Structure 1
């Protein structure tokens, strides 16, 4: 059973998501909160597998909560965002969010994203990824990525991650096992001193 925490200052969104998610036999909503501080406090003494975390909240916003949650627990964080929260999205990427979804998604997509994140993959909705890429291209010409430290196969993995492909999709495209993909990602993370596969995409898109 996937234990989910819902954190959003909009009570209608919280209650709607709670009803929707609890209807799935694999998910149990164990916590609902209206700000980041409540999420952090709950996380200190209780197990949550995946947090659905809003970004713009009173008391403590989503980015501040994300930083603490990732530091004190093994919980994964799936960000619920809108298109007018660019600065939060970029900070969330930096601090290790496992996924980014627009709030207007269908219940099936949100449930699917939770299960994907729980299985160790990341989820970046195409519209969100495109906006991040557009902002980077608009504000900064992409310099040369540090390809010299990677093998050709590792660079293949980096490029596919940056395009939003899951581990399973990468394994299919490159004709290697999903386990081999995970091993490559572990090596890439180590070489770049990163903690999460999503940060690989950000680093590549920024040309770091």
Structure 2
């Protein structure tokens, strides 16, 4: 069964170009293109859509707010497609439920891989975007002086959180700590349960800021 995708961007060049690219693959069905976040939410509330590709800056409703509503009110998984100029929105988008955060100049093949990965339940964030999250949050951490609640986590869980914040994959964490990937996954599940967070990128933000 094909993955149904909706594209929301007020630049028709982007929407049409992305539609052509995705349609060239046999496993995507681009069901709609819209020009603002409000229209994206309205469409997904009326139709079953697997993935919503959302621009950040759109009229009427931006992609960050649309991601929040899609997460709360539909089964559609939002992925943000953005530019470097939208750095200020990255953290808000993740906190609002975005399952992916990609730059528009990303190779089409990688965007397609990201869509499939998010559809399978993963969270996708490019290394360059994660690095920008870290750099933008570090001053806040220093200013606020709010460390994570050490008593809430075991030493191993804190080690894993630190490596997640550095952008390590489960496989890389397993190699670093000499444990199995399954054990890493179990620790991450425990961390998510203790914090009521939804995915590993939120864990990275929590580790860097001390804020849920």
TM-fit CA distance, 1:176 = 5.0
TM alignment of 1:26-175, pairs within 5 A: 26-141=27-142, 143-171=146-174, 173-174=176-177
Give the length in aligned residue pairs. 208
**Contact 2:56-2:82 at 8 Å conserved across structures:** yes
Out of 194, 201, 209, the residue aligned to residue 206 of structure 1 is 209
Deviation at 1:175, TM superposition (A): 5.5
- 1:195 partnered with 2:198: yes
Q: Deviations over 1:134-191 (max 9, x none)?
A: 1222344164222321123322332232223344554555555555444332221121
Q: Indicate if the aligned counterparts of 1:98 and 1:198 stay in contact, CA closer than 8 A.
A: no
User: Are 2:26 and 1:12 aligned?
Assistant: no
Contact 2:10/2:58 (8 A) holds in 1: yes
In structure 2, C-alpha distance between the alignment counterparts of 1:38 and 1:172, rounded to whole Å: 45
Structure 2 vs 1, CA of residues 34 and 177 (structure 1 numbering), >3 Å: closer, same or farther? farther
CA distance in 1, matches of 2:136, 2:209: 10
Q: TM-score, normalised by structure 2?
A: 0.88
- Structure 2: runs of 5 or more not aligned: none
Structure 1 runs not aligned, ≥5 long: none
Normalised by the length of structure 1, the TM-score is 0.89
